[in-house]
Amino acid sequence: MSKLRLSHPLFSTALVLGSVFATTVATQAAVIDDAPLAEGPGNIIANYRGIYLTASGSTPAATIEALDNAYSMHDYSGATNGSNVFAFTNNTLPDIQISSQSSFTTFGTTITNTSWLSSTPNAYRIQLPTDTTTAYTMSIDFGSWDSGSSSFTDNVNAVSAAAFTLTAPQERFKAITSMVVNFVSATDEVLSSQTILSSSLDTSSSVTRVLYFGYESDSNDISSISITFNVEADAEAVSPLVGLNDLTFTTIPEPSTSALGLLGAALAAAVFIRRRRS
């Protein structure tokens, strides 16, 4: 199944003009079909354990929860260690790929221990090594999964709002100096950059805390989210183990709406190129 929506002729033209931004990559990711979703408006973010800390610059969780086209994922059953694709038969929803660009200790599978949950029944497991001072980066891409070719196309099916939480006992954040989150467009423009420092937490405590990141755009242009964990080597630190949960996103626009947006961007680029040549 592919969710490259070509049913509208204007959309087909716009997609060709704008395809320079899209990348289709064959992947060995595990594929989870139609994961259950909580639907807004309502309390769909951190409904088991409340948010403790909101990243500076975030769109409030209540704002995103109030959207009538927002959905939140609380169940990551079927995820394996490595990249995972969550594919939906509902064509109004983007397919989602969660992947890592670094050597995490564990990336994927699920956590059911409630100390790592902001919503039930489970969370997406992220575990980091502590033997090296370095940055570990992962990404969440909104796109289209093609089961026939086992490939994922990113930079299509962008959304207007997205959010998520990171949850763990505070001591698990001790070796993580900061968490930097970028909400990114299909043209690699950073729409919003948000940071939480571990110094904002009591990392000597085993009390669980929920950290929230979220952003609502004026248009459907959030194509991906990058999450970077900056780790400082600390042999005495408890292994950083974090649960990603409440992955929230909005529906994708109708083909005609997408087409107009893509066509506008393509025409603007063409005018710019022509002016440069002249």
Digit-coded pLDDT (tens) for 16-41: 444 456 676 555 679 999 999 999 99
- Over pLDDT 70: what percentage of the chain? 82
Please report how many Cα atoms fall inside a 13 Å half-sphere around the Cα of residue 70, on the Cβ side.
26
Mean of the pLDDT values across residues 228-235? 89
Name the one residue in this structure whose structure tokens are 């939906």. Answer: 88
Q: Which tokens go with 231?
A: 């780790």
Supply the pLDDT for residue 21: 62
pTM for the whole thing? 0.85
Containing 161, the helix (H) or strand (E) segment is strand 161-169
**Cα–Cα distance measured from residue 249 to residue 227, given in angstroms and rounded to the nearest whole number:** 16
Q: Domains in the chain, start-ordered, CATH in brackets?
A: 9-277 (2.60.120.260)
Q: How far apart are CA 120 and CA 248, in angstroms?
A: 14
Question: What is the mean predicted confidence (pLDDT) over 122-148?
Answer: 93
Mean residue pLDDT of the chain comes to 87
Q: What is the dihedral of CA 62, 63, 68, 71, to 10 degrees?
A: -70
Question: Above pLDDT 90, what percent of the chain?
Answer: 72
pLDDT of residue 151: 95
Cα separation, 221 vs 257, in Å, equals 12
Residue 264's pLDDT is 56
Residue 180 to residues 69, 114, 152, 196, 249: CA-CA distances in angstroms? 27, 25, 25, 7, 19
Dist. CA 177–CA 5, nearest whole Å: 42
Is residue 184 within 8 A of residue 190, CB to CB? The reply is yes
Q: How far apart are CA 1 and CA 144, in angstroms?
A: 9
Q: In the predicted model, is pLDDT for residue 137 greater than 50?
A: yes
**DSSP string covering 162-228:** EEEEEEEEGGGGTTEEEEEEEEE-TT--EEEEEEEEGGGS-TT---EEEEEEEEE-SSS-B-EEEEE
Specify the pLDDT at position 17.
43
Whole-number pLDDT of residue 253? 83
Tokens of residue 254, six digits: 């109708």
Angstrom CA distances, 265 to 13, 16, 202, 269, stand at: 12, 12, 46, 6
pLDDT band, residue 131 (cuts 50/70/90): confident
Calpha distance 122→118 (Å, rounded):
9
Of 227, 144, 239, nearest in space to 193 by CA: 227
- Averaged pLDDT, 189-202: 97
